[in-house]
Structure 1
Amino acid sequence: MNVSTLRPRSALLAVAGTALVLSLTACQSDGDTGSTSAPAATATVASSPVAAGATTGATAGEGTGASGTTGSAGSAHSAGSKGTAGGSTDTSAGASGTTGKQVTASAPVCTAGDVRVTAATQDGPPYTHLVLTAKNTSGHSCRLTGFPHIQFLESHKQDVPAVAKSKPASPVVLQAGAPAYALVKLSDGGADEDTEPVSAFSVMLEGDSTVIAVTAPGSEGVAVDPAKALTGYWTPELRNGADDF
Protein backbone atom coordinates (compact mmCIF):
# COMPACT_ATOMS: atom_id res chain seq x y z
CA MET A 1 0.00 0.00 0.00
CA ASN A 2 1.20 3.48 -0.81
CA VAL A 3 1.54 5.58 2.34
CA SER A 4 1.63 8.86 0.49
CA THR A 5 -1.73 8.10 -1.01
CA LEU A 6 -3.33 7.43 2.44
CA ARG A 7 -2.21 10.71 3.98
CA PRO A 8 -4.00 13.02 1.59
CA ARG A 9 -7.17 10.95 1.91
CA SER A 10 -7.05 11.14 5.74
CA ALA A 11 -6.55 14.88 5.54
CA LEU A 12 -9.58 15.27 3.33
CA LEU A 13 -11.70 13.24 5.75
CA ALA A 14 -10.57 15.41 8.66
CA VAL A 15 -11.43 18.59 6.80
CA ALA A 16 -14.85 17.22 5.83
CA GLY A 17 -15.58 16.20 9.43
CA THR A 18 -14.67 19.63 10.69
CA ALA A 19 -16.97 21.30 8.17
CA LEU A 20 -19.81 19.01 9.15
CA VAL A 21 -19.37 19.84 12.83
CA LEU A 22 -19.30 23.55 12.07
CA SER A 23 -22.45 23.25 9.96
CA LEU A 24 -24.33 21.36 12.67
CA THR A 25 -23.26 23.89 15.31
CA ALA A 26 -24.48 26.76 13.18
CA CYS A 27 -27.86 25.12 12.65
CA GLN A 28 -28.22 24.40 16.35
CA SER A 29 -27.43 27.99 17.34
CA ASP A 30 -29.92 29.26 14.74
CA GLY A 31 -32.62 27.06 16.25
CA ASP A 32 -31.81 28.17 19.81
CA THR A 33 -31.95 31.81 18.81
CA GLY A 34 -35.41 31.39 17.23
CA SER A 35 -36.86 29.58 20.24
CA THR A 36 -35.55 32.20 22.64
CA SER A 37 -36.84 35.22 20.69
CA ALA A 38 -40.49 34.07 20.48
CA PRO A 39 -41.17 33.85 24.26
CA ALA A 40 -39.39 37.15 24.79
CA ALA A 41 -41.82 38.90 22.42
CA THR A 42 -44.86 37.26 24.13
CA ALA A 43 -43.73 38.34 27.58
CA THR A 44 -43.34 41.92 26.42
CA VAL A 45 -46.92 42.11 25.12
CA ALA A 46 -48.41 40.54 28.27
CA SER A 47 -46.59 42.94 30.54
CA SER A 48 -47.97 46.01 28.78
CA PRO A 49 -51.36 47.06 30.24
CA VAL A 50 -51.88 49.57 27.45
CA ALA A 51 -51.36 46.92 24.80
CA ALA A 52 -53.61 44.51 26.66
CA GLY A 53 -56.32 47.15 26.86
CA ALA A 54 -56.03 47.91 23.19
CA THR A 55 -56.30 44.22 22.37
CA THR A 56 -59.40 43.95 24.55
CA GLY A 57 -61.06 46.77 22.68
CA ALA A 58 -60.26 45.18 19.33
CA THR A 59 -61.14 41.57 20.20
CA ALA A 60 -64.02 41.61 22.66
CA GLY A 61 -64.96 38.04 21.72
CA GLU A 62 -61.69 36.53 23.03
CA GLY A 63 -61.15 35.30 26.57
CA THR A 64 -58.62 38.01 27.29
CA GLY A 65 -61.07 40.58 25.97
CA ALA A 66 -63.74 39.31 28.38
CA SER A 67 -61.32 39.77 31.25
CA GLY A 68 -60.49 43.25 30.07
CA THR A 69 -64.19 44.06 29.81
CA THR A 70 -64.62 43.07 33.44
CA GLY A 71 -61.83 45.45 34.28
CA SER A 72 -63.62 48.21 32.42
CA ALA A 73 -66.80 47.39 34.33
CA GLY A 74 -64.78 47.79 37.50
CA SER A 75 -63.86 51.28 36.37
CA ALA A 76 -67.53 51.97 35.73
CA HIS A 77 -68.33 50.84 39.28
CA SER A 78 -65.65 53.20 40.54
CA ALA A 79 -67.31 55.99 38.64
CA GLY A 80 -70.55 54.83 40.17
CA SER A 81 -69.16 55.50 43.60
CA LYS A 82 -68.92 59.10 42.57
CA GLY A 83 -72.56 58.81 41.64
CA THR A 84 -73.20 57.82 45.21
CA ALA A 85 -71.92 61.21 46.12
CA GLY A 86 -74.71 62.41 43.90
CA GLY A 87 -76.97 60.56 46.31
CA SER A 88 -75.81 63.10 48.83
CA THR A 89 -77.55 65.65 46.66
CA ASP A 90 -80.78 63.70 47.12
CA THR A 91 -80.14 63.76 50.85
CA SER A 92 -79.74 67.51 50.70
CA ALA A 93 -83.01 67.63 48.80
CA GLY A 94 -84.47 65.72 51.71
CA ALA A 95 -83.02 68.37 53.94
CA SER A 96 -85.02 70.89 51.98
CA GLY A 97 -88.07 68.78 52.77
CA THR A 98 -87.09 69.00 56.41
CA THR A 99 -86.92 72.76 56.07
CA GLY A 100 -90.47 72.63 54.69
CA LYS A 101 -91.52 70.72 57.78
CA GLN A 102 -89.90 73.39 59.94
CA VAL A 103 -91.90 76.03 58.09
CA THR A 104 -95.04 73.94 58.66
CA ALA A 105 -94.26 73.58 62.34
CA SER A 106 -93.78 77.34 62.60
CA ALA A 107 -97.35 78.04 61.40
CA PRO A 108 -99.35 79.60 64.27
CA VAL A 109 -101.87 77.51 66.17
CA CYS A 110 -105.44 78.10 65.00
CA THR A 111 -107.59 80.12 67.38
CA ALA A 112 -111.36 80.57 67.58
CA GLY A 113 -111.00 83.71 65.46
CA ASP A 114 -109.26 81.76 62.66
CA VAL A 115 -111.90 79.10 62.00
CA ARG A 116 -115.65 78.63 61.57
CA VAL A 117 -116.98 75.43 63.21
CA THR A 118 -120.17 73.78 61.96
CA ALA A 119 -121.87 70.45 62.64
CA ALA A 120 -123.76 67.98 60.43
CA THR A 121 -125.27 64.57 61.10
CA GLN A 122 -123.55 61.52 59.65
CA ASP A 123 -125.58 58.81 57.89
CA GLY A 124 -129.32 58.43 58.45
CA PRO A 125 -131.53 57.96 61.53
CA PRO A 126 -130.94 57.08 64.21
CA TYR A 127 -128.41 59.87 64.18
CA THR A 128 -125.59 58.54 66.32
CA HIS A 129 -122.69 60.62 64.99
CA LEU A 130 -121.91 64.22 64.07
CA VAL A 131 -119.18 65.52 61.79
CA LEU A 132 -117.61 68.76 62.98
CA THR A 133 -116.01 70.91 60.29
CA ALA A 134 -113.49 73.62 61.15
CA LYS A 135 -112.82 75.83 58.12
CA ASN A 136 -109.90 78.24 58.11
CA THR A 137 -111.36 81.69 57.43
CA SER A 138 -108.32 83.68 58.57
CA GLY A 139 -106.60 84.21 55.22
CA HIS A 140 -103.34 82.61 56.47
CA SER A 141 -102.14 79.11 57.37
CA CYS A 142 -102.57 77.81 60.91
CA ARG A 143 -102.15 74.53 62.79
CA LEU A 144 -105.23 72.82 64.19
CA THR A 145 -103.93 70.74 67.07
CA GLY A 146 -105.46 68.01 69.20
CA PHE A 147 -109.21 67.44 69.26
CA PRO A 148 -112.29 69.62 69.83
CA HIS A 149 -113.10 70.13 73.51
CA ILE A 150 -116.87 69.60 73.51
CA GLN A 151 -119.49 70.07 76.21
CA PHE A 152 -123.03 69.13 75.18
CA LEU A 153 -125.02 69.76 78.35
CA GLU A 154 -124.96 72.23 81.21
CA SER A 155 -125.41 69.31 83.58
CA HIS A 156 -122.19 67.67 82.30
CA LYS A 157 -119.32 70.13 82.50
CA GLN A 158 -116.55 67.65 81.63
CA ASP A 159 -115.26 67.49 78.06
CA VAL A 160 -116.30 64.62 75.81
CA PRO A 161 -113.48 62.00 75.87
CA ALA A 162 -111.22 61.71 72.81
CA VAL A 163 -110.49 58.49 70.90
CA ALA A 164 -106.71 58.00 70.74
CA LYS A 165 -106.67 55.87 67.56
CA SER A 166 -108.06 58.79 65.54
CA LYS A 167 -105.00 60.96 66.25
CA PRO A 168 -103.25 61.81 62.94
CA ALA A 169 -99.57 60.96 62.43
CA SER A 170 -98.58 64.52 61.45
CA PRO A 171 -99.74 68.02 62.41
CA VAL A 172 -102.88 69.29 60.68
CA VAL A 173 -101.97 72.53 58.92
CA LEU A 174 -104.87 74.38 57.34
CA GLN A 175 -104.15 76.59 54.38
CA ALA A 176 -106.44 79.59 53.98
CA GLY A 177 -109.95 78.31 53.20
CA ALA A 178 -109.10 74.65 53.95
CA PRO A 179 -111.24 72.49 56.29
CA ALA A 180 -110.48 69.87 58.95
CA TYR A 181 -112.90 67.35 60.39
CA ALA A 182 -113.64 65.56 63.65
CA LEU A 183 -116.10 62.70 64.06
CA VAL A 184 -118.24 62.88 67.22
CA LYS A 185 -120.30 60.05 68.68
CA LEU A 186 -123.61 61.09 70.29
CA SER A 187 -125.07 57.77 71.41
CA ASP A 188 -125.45 54.10 70.51
CA GLY A 189 -128.83 54.80 68.90
CA GLY A 190 -130.78 52.55 71.25
CA ALA A 191 -134.42 53.33 72.16
CA ASP A 192 -133.79 52.70 75.85
CA GLU A 193 -130.75 54.94 76.14
CA ASP A 194 -130.67 57.83 78.58
CA THR A 195 -130.44 60.61 75.99
CA GLU A 196 -131.14 64.33 76.20
CA PRO A 197 -132.00 66.73 73.37
CA VAL A 198 -129.26 69.19 72.42
CA SER A 199 -129.91 72.14 70.10
CA ALA A 200 -126.54 73.87 70.62
CA PHE A 201 -123.28 73.00 72.31
CA SER A 202 -119.89 74.49 73.06
CA VAL A 203 -116.53 73.75 71.42
CA MET A 204 -113.08 74.99 72.39
CA LEU A 205 -109.90 74.57 70.38
CA GLU A 206 -106.77 73.24 72.00
CA GLY A 207 -104.63 76.11 73.23
CA ASP A 208 -107.51 78.62 73.16
CA SER A 209 -109.98 79.14 75.99
CA THR A 210 -112.52 80.93 73.77
CA VAL A 211 -115.89 79.14 73.70
CA ILE A 212 -117.36 78.58 70.23
CA ALA A 213 -121.14 78.08 70.19
CA VAL A 214 -122.13 75.47 67.58
CA THR A 215 -125.73 74.96 66.46
CA ALA A 216 -126.82 71.33 66.33
CA PRO A 217 -128.22 70.16 62.98
CA GLY A 218 -131.92 69.50 62.51
CA SER A 219 -134.98 71.44 63.66
CA GLU A 220 -135.17 69.46 66.89
CA GLY A 221 -131.46 69.19 67.52
CA VAL A 222 -129.78 65.88 68.34
CA ALA A 223 -130.14 63.27 71.09
CA VAL A 224 -127.00 62.87 73.22
CA ASP A 225 -126.16 60.21 75.78
CA PRO A 226 -123.39 61.82 77.88
CA ALA A 227 -122.15 58.37 79.00
CA LYS A 228 -121.60 57.23 75.39
CA ALA A 229 -120.35 60.45 73.79
CA LEU A 230 -116.86 60.42 72.21
CA THR A 231 -114.86 62.66 69.88
CA GLY A 232 -112.11 62.08 67.37
CA TYR A 233 -109.08 64.27 66.68
CA TRP A 234 -109.03 66.94 64.01
CA THR A 235 -107.92 65.39 60.69
CA PRO A 236 -107.71 66.63 57.07
CA GLU A 237 -110.32 64.00 56.14
CA LEU A 238 -112.37 61.30 57.85
CA ARG A 239 -110.58 57.92 57.64
CA ASN A 240 -112.21 54.51 57.72
CA GLY A 241 -110.98 52.49 60.67
CA ALA A 242 -109.29 55.24 62.63
CA ASP A 243 -112.54 57.20 62.80
CA ASP A 244 -114.89 54.26 63.36
CA PHE A 245 -116.06 54.39 66.98
Structure 2
Amino acid sequence: MRTKRTNTVLAVTAAAVLSLGLAACGSVEGGTRDEGAAHTSPSETSSSSSAPSSSSPSSSSSSSSSASASGASASGGSTSGGAAKNAAKNAASSGSKAAASCTYKDVKITAAKADETPTEHVVLTATNTSGRVCRLDGYPLIAFGEIQTAKDVPAVAKSRPAAPVVLEPGAPAYANVRIVLGGAHEDNKVVTSFNVNLFTGSAPAEGSVVVKAPAGGLAVDEAAARTGYWTPELRNGADEF
Protein backbone atom coordinates (compact mmCIF):
# COMPACT_ATOMS: atom_id res chain seq x y z
CA MET A 1 0.00 0.00 0.00
CA ARG A 2 2.83 2.44 0.88
CA THR A 3 4.69 1.61 -2.30
CA LYS A 4 1.67 2.18 -4.52
CA ARG A 5 1.00 5.57 -2.96
CA THR A 6 4.55 6.62 -3.44
CA ASN A 7 4.38 5.73 -7.13
CA THR A 8 1.16 7.63 -7.49
CA VAL A 9 2.68 10.73 -5.89
CA LEU A 10 5.74 10.50 -8.14
CA ALA A 11 3.55 10.13 -11.19
CA VAL A 12 1.51 13.20 -10.23
CA THR A 13 4.68 15.20 -9.52
CA ALA A 14 6.22 14.22 -12.87
CA ALA A 15 3.05 15.18 -14.68
CA ALA A 16 3.04 18.57 -12.92
CA VAL A 17 6.70 19.21 -13.81
CA LEU A 18 6.05 18.23 -17.42
CA SER A 19 3.04 20.53 -17.53
CA LEU A 20 5.07 23.46 -16.13
CA GLY A 21 7.84 22.82 -18.68
CA LEU A 22 5.37 22.86 -21.54
CA ALA A 23 3.74 26.02 -20.20
CA ALA A 24 7.13 27.72 -19.96
CA CYS A 25 7.99 26.83 -23.55
CA GLY A 26 4.66 28.14 -24.76
CA SER A 27 5.20 31.43 -22.92
CA VAL A 28 8.64 32.00 -24.48
CA GLU A 29 7.37 31.26 -27.98
CA GLY A 30 4.38 33.51 -27.51
CA GLY A 31 6.67 36.26 -26.26
CA THR A 32 8.71 36.01 -29.39
CA ARG A 33 5.63 36.29 -31.55
CA ASP A 34 4.40 39.26 -29.55
CA GLU A 35 7.75 41.03 -29.90
CA GLY A 36 7.76 40.49 -33.60
CA ALA A 37 4.18 41.69 -33.91
CA ALA A 38 4.83 44.74 -31.78
CA HIS A 39 7.93 46.00 -33.67
CA THR A 40 7.32 44.67 -37.18
CA SER A 41 11.00 45.41 -37.60
CA PRO A 42 11.44 44.80 -41.37
CA SER A 43 8.85 47.40 -42.44
CA GLU A 44 9.79 49.89 -39.74
CA THR A 45 13.49 49.67 -40.60
CA SER A 46 12.70 50.30 -44.21
CA SER A 47 10.38 53.14 -43.27
CA SER A 48 12.75 54.73 -40.80
CA SER A 49 15.69 54.46 -43.18
CA SER A 50 13.66 55.90 -46.05
CA ALA A 51 12.24 58.77 -43.98
CA PRO A 52 15.51 60.74 -43.82
CA SER A 53 16.06 60.07 -47.54
CA SER A 54 12.65 61.44 -48.51
CA SER A 55 13.01 64.48 -46.27
CA SER A 56 16.59 65.13 -47.36
CA PRO A 57 15.79 65.94 -51.05
CA SER A 58 12.94 68.17 -49.88
CA SER A 59 15.33 70.04 -47.60
CA SER A 60 17.92 70.22 -50.37
CA SER A 61 15.26 71.46 -52.80
CA SER A 62 14.25 74.12 -50.28
CA SER A 63 17.85 75.24 -49.91
CA SER A 64 18.31 75.33 -53.69
CA SER A 65 15.14 77.37 -54.11
CA SER A 66 16.31 79.82 -51.46
CA ALA A 67 19.73 80.06 -53.09
CA SER A 68 18.10 80.58 -56.51
CA ALA A 69 15.83 83.24 -55.07
CA SER A 70 18.81 84.95 -53.46
CA GLY A 71 20.75 84.74 -56.71
CA ALA A 72 17.80 86.11 -58.66
CA SER A 73 17.43 88.91 -56.16
CA ALA A 74 21.14 89.72 -56.40
CA SER A 75 20.96 89.55 -60.18
CA GLY A 76 17.91 91.82 -60.17
CA GLY A 77 19.74 94.25 -57.95
CA SER A 78 22.66 94.28 -60.34
CA THR A 79 20.35 94.82 -63.31
CA SER A 80 18.60 97.63 -61.50
CA GLY A 81 21.97 99.20 -60.74
CA GLY A 82 22.95 98.96 -64.43
CA ALA A 83 19.62 100.44 -65.49
CA ALA A 84 20.09 103.30 -63.01
CA LYS A 85 23.56 104.04 -64.40
CA ASN A 86 22.23 104.00 -67.97
CA ALA A 87 19.35 106.26 -66.97
CA ALA A 88 21.77 108.69 -65.33
CA LYS A 89 23.98 108.63 -68.40
CA ASN A 90 21.02 109.25 -70.73
CA ALA A 91 19.78 112.03 -68.47
CA ALA A 92 23.22 113.69 -68.63
CA SER A 93 23.25 113.35 -72.41
CA SER A 94 19.72 114.77 -72.66
CA GLY A 95 20.75 117.57 -70.34
CA SER A 96 23.62 118.51 -72.68
CA LYS A 97 21.33 118.43 -75.70
CA ALA A 98 18.85 120.60 -73.85
CA ALA A 99 21.55 123.20 -73.11
CA ALA A 100 20.68 126.81 -73.86
CA SER A 101 21.48 128.14 -77.32
CA CYS A 102 24.81 129.90 -77.74
CA THR A 103 24.48 133.67 -78.12
CA TYR A 104 26.82 136.08 -79.83
CA LYS A 105 28.30 136.78 -76.39
CA ASP A 106 29.17 133.10 -75.88
CA VAL A 107 31.37 132.49 -78.92
CA LYS A 108 34.38 133.88 -80.72
CA ILE A 109 34.18 133.49 -84.52
CA THR A 110 37.19 133.61 -86.84
CA ALA A 111 37.57 133.14 -90.61
CA ALA A 112 40.40 131.46 -92.54
CA LYS A 113 40.87 131.04 -96.28
CA ALA A 114 40.64 127.51 -97.63
CA ASP A 115 43.82 125.98 -99.07
CA GLU A 116 42.91 126.50 -102.73
CA THR A 117 43.65 128.76 -105.68
CA PRO A 118 41.71 130.86 -106.47
CA THR A 119 40.12 131.27 -103.04
CA GLU A 120 36.47 130.24 -103.27
CA HIS A 121 35.84 129.19 -99.67
CA VAL A 122 36.54 130.29 -96.12
CA VAL A 123 36.12 128.21 -92.95
CA LEU A 124 34.43 129.79 -89.96
CA THR A 125 35.42 128.57 -86.51
CA ALA A 126 33.13 129.31 -83.57
CA THR A 127 34.76 128.69 -80.17
CA ASN A 128 32.74 128.56 -76.97
CA THR A 129 34.25 131.20 -74.67
CA SER A 130 31.32 131.39 -72.22
CA GLY A 131 32.60 128.95 -69.59
CA ARG A 132 29.34 126.97 -69.81
CA VAL A 133 27.85 124.37 -72.14
CA CYS A 134 25.79 125.83 -74.97
CA ARG A 135 24.13 124.60 -78.16
CA LEU A 136 25.07 126.07 -81.52
CA ASP A 137 21.89 126.03 -83.59
CA GLY A 138 21.53 125.93 -87.34
CA TYR A 139 24.07 127.72 -89.48
CA PRO A 140 25.90 131.08 -89.44
CA LEU A 141 23.57 133.79 -90.69
CA ILE A 142 26.09 135.77 -92.71
CA ALA A 143 25.76 139.29 -94.07
CA PHE A 144 28.54 140.50 -96.40
CA GLY A 145 27.93 144.25 -96.05
CA GLU A 146 25.63 146.43 -93.97
CA ILE A 147 23.68 144.11 -91.69
CA GLN A 148 20.42 145.96 -92.27
CA THR A 149 20.55 145.76 -96.08
CA ALA A 150 22.86 142.86 -96.98
CA LYS A 151 21.43 139.67 -98.41
CA ASP A 152 21.58 136.68 -96.01
CA VAL A 153 23.75 133.89 -97.36
CA PRO A 154 21.59 130.74 -97.89
CA ALA A 155 22.51 127.42 -96.26
CA VAL A 156 23.30 124.14 -98.04
CA ALA A 157 20.86 121.49 -96.77
CA LYS A 158 23.17 118.48 -97.21
CA SER A 159 25.64 119.93 -94.68
CA ARG A 160 23.11 119.80 -91.82
CA PRO A 161 24.38 117.47 -89.06
CA ALA A 162 22.26 114.61 -87.69
CA ALA A 163 22.47 115.81 -84.07
CA PRO A 164 22.55 119.22 -82.38
CA VAL A 165 26.01 120.74 -81.97
CA VAL A 166 26.63 121.04 -78.23
CA LEU A 167 29.79 122.88 -77.26
CA GLU A 168 31.63 122.33 -74.01
CA PRO A 169 33.56 125.36 -72.74
CA GLY A 170 36.51 125.97 -75.07
CA ALA A 171 35.22 123.58 -77.77
CA PRO A 172 35.00 124.66 -81.44
CA ALA A 173 32.51 124.11 -84.26
CA TYR A 174 33.03 124.77 -87.96
CA ALA A 175 31.15 125.94 -91.03
CA ASN A 176 32.37 125.89 -94.62
CA VAL A 177 31.39 129.01 -96.59
CA ARG A 178 31.58 129.49 -100.34
CA ILE A 179 32.22 133.15 -101.16
CA VAL A 180 32.65 133.02 -104.93
CA LEU A 181 32.69 130.74 -107.99
CA GLY A 182 35.45 130.81 -110.60
CA GLY A 183 37.66 133.47 -109.09
CA ALA A 184 37.54 137.26 -109.47
CA HIS A 185 35.08 138.92 -111.78
CA GLU A 186 33.21 142.19 -112.02
CA ASP A 187 30.43 141.19 -109.64
CA ASN A 188 32.82 140.55 -106.77
CA LYS A 189 33.13 142.99 -103.92
CA VAL A 190 35.98 143.08 -101.45
CA VAL A 191 35.11 142.96 -97.75
CA THR A 192 37.45 143.32 -94.79
CA SER A 193 34.85 142.25 -92.22
CA PHE A 194 31.34 140.84 -92.13
CA ASN A 195 28.58 140.03 -89.66
CA VAL A 196 27.46 136.64 -88.39
CA ASN A 197 24.19 136.14 -86.54
CA LEU A 198 23.33 133.01 -84.59
CA PHE A 199 20.04 131.16 -84.21
CA THR A 200 17.99 130.40 -81.14
CA GLY A 201 16.16 127.29 -82.25
CA SER A 202 14.87 128.18 -85.72
CA ALA A 203 14.76 131.93 -85.24
CA PRO A 204 17.64 134.41 -85.57
CA ALA A 205 18.93 135.60 -82.20
CA GLU A 206 19.45 139.21 -81.23
CA GLY A 207 22.93 140.58 -81.75
CA SER A 208 25.73 139.55 -84.12
CA VAL A 209 29.43 138.87 -84.18
CA VAL A 210 31.66 141.05 -86.35
CA VAL A 211 34.18 138.74 -88.02
CA LYS A 212 37.43 140.13 -89.38
CA ALA A 213 38.31 138.89 -92.89
CA PRO A 214 41.70 137.22 -93.47
CA ALA A 215 44.57 139.48 -94.47
CA GLY A 216 43.94 141.18 -97.82
CA GLY A 217 40.17 140.93 -97.48
CA LEU A 218 37.76 138.63 -99.31
CA ALA A 219 36.44 138.92 -102.84
CA VAL A 220 32.77 137.99 -102.45
CA ASP A 221 30.06 137.26 -105.02
CA GLU A 222 26.82 137.48 -103.04
CA ALA A 223 24.84 135.67 -105.73
CA ALA A 224 27.15 132.63 -105.56
CA ALA A 225 27.72 132.68 -101.77
CA ARG A 226 26.54 129.65 -99.73
CA THR A 227 27.14 128.50 -96.17
CA GLY A 228 27.22 125.13 -94.48
CA TYR A 229 25.69 124.31 -91.09
CA TRP A 230 27.73 124.35 -87.91
CA THR A 231 29.37 120.94 -87.34
CA PRO A 232 31.86 119.56 -84.78
CA GLU A 233 34.23 118.83 -87.68
CA LEU A 234 34.27 119.34 -91.42
CA ARG A 235 33.15 116.24 -93.36
CA ASN A 236 34.05 115.08 -96.84
CA GLY A 237 31.09 115.35 -99.16
CA ALA A 238 28.62 117.00 -96.80
CA ASP A 239 30.66 120.16 -96.48
CA GLU A 240 31.94 120.29 -100.06
CA PHE A 241 29.89 122.61 -102.31
TM score, norm. by length of structure 1 = 0.61
Q: Does 1:85 align with 2:45?
A: no
Higher share of residues assigned strand? 2
Q: CA deviation at 1:153?
A: 5.6
Give the gaps of 5 or more residues in structure 2: 1-28
Of 232, 235, 238, 1:236 maps to 232
- 2:190–2:218 contact (8 Å) kept in structure 1: yes
- The 1:129/1:39 distance shift into structure 2, 3 A limit, reads farther
Listed as ranges, the matches of 1:8-157 within 5 Å are 36=43, 39-40=46-47, 43-49=50-56, 53=60, 72=64, 75-76=67-68, 79-101=71-93, 103-104=95-96, 107-152=99-144, 157=151
SS of structure 1 residue aligned to 2:235: coil
Partner of 2:194: 201
SS of structure 2 residue aligned to 1:206: strand
Q: Does 1:181 align with 2:182?
A: no
- The 1:241/1:72 distance shift into structure 2, 3 A limit, reads farther
- The 1:194/1:39 distance shift into structure 2, 3 A limit, reads farther
2:178 alignment partner AA: K
- 2:136–2:164 contact (8 Å) kept in structure 1: no
TM score, norm. by length of structure 2 = 0.62
Higher relative contact order (CA 8 A, sep 6+): 2
1:49 alignment partner AA: S
SS of structure 2 residue aligned to 1:167: coil
Identical columns (%)? 35
2:51 alignment partner AA: T
SS of structure 2 residue aligned to 1:86: helix
**Which of the pair has more CA radius of gyration?**
2
1:186 alignment partner AA: I
SS of structure 2 residue aligned to 1:201: strand
Of 145, 160, 167, 2:154 maps to 160
2:115 alignment partner AA: D
Count residues with an aligned counterpart. 205
Q: Deviations over 1:220-244 (max 9, x none)?
A: 52444623x3322222332344434
RMSD: 4.2
Give the gaps of 5 or more residues in structure 1: 1-21, 54-67
SS of structure 1 residue aligned to 2:199: coil
- Taking the aligned partners of 2:44 and 2:132, their CA distance within structure 1 comes to 89
